[in-house]
Amino acid sequence: MKARTKKFAVDVIRFCDTLKASKAASVITYQLVKSSSSTAANYRATCRSRSKNEFYSKISIVVEESDESHFWLEVIDETDLSNDKQEGKRLLDEAIEITKIMSKSRASASNNR
């Protein structure tokens, strides 16, 4: 999952560089790059958790950030800011999958606390 979340962040950064130039795209790119890279960085931190409570707290951040990435990718799609609809769809699907996986992990962590 470390490699997968990092790849997601890198792919999002590359995707954002292909968006149509506009003020809105600049703002959305900023938010999406922050949330996708935060997903990867916080997952790495989750892997180094020192306690069950710390793991739960950090995995909760990962869920929030991956869900936010999902949101921004939907906004890009619905506002036609993308020049590459196929890549946008792939990234949207990946954000959904990461959110589902992390949500399951958080639920398991909650049960084990």
* Cα–Cα dist 106/65, whole Å: 14
> For the segment 80-108, what is each residue's pLDDT rounded down to a tens digit?
999 999 999 999 999 999 999 999 999 99
CA-to-CA separations, 17 to 63, 99, 104, 111, in angstroms, rounded: 25, 24, 32, 41
Which range of residues forms the domain containing residue 99?
2-112
**CATH code of 33's domain:** 1.20.1440.60
Q: How far apart are the first and last CA of the chain?
A: 22
Cβ atoms of 56 and 106 closer than 8 Å: yes
Res. 110: pLDDT tops 90: no
Cβ atoms of 28 and 35 closer than 8 Å: no
Average pLDDT, the chain: 96
Q: What's the CA angle centered on 110, arms 101 and 41, to 5 degrees?
A: 50
| Average pLDDT rounded to a whole number, residues 43-66 | 96
* Cα–Cα dist 25/47, whole Å: 33
Q: How confident is the model at residue 109 (pLDDT cuts 50, 70, 90)?
A: confident
| Average pLDDT rounded to a whole number, residues 23-52 | 96
Number of domains in the chain: 1
| Average pLDDT rounded to a whole number, residues 46-55 | 94
Give the pLDDT of residue 113.
Answer: 63
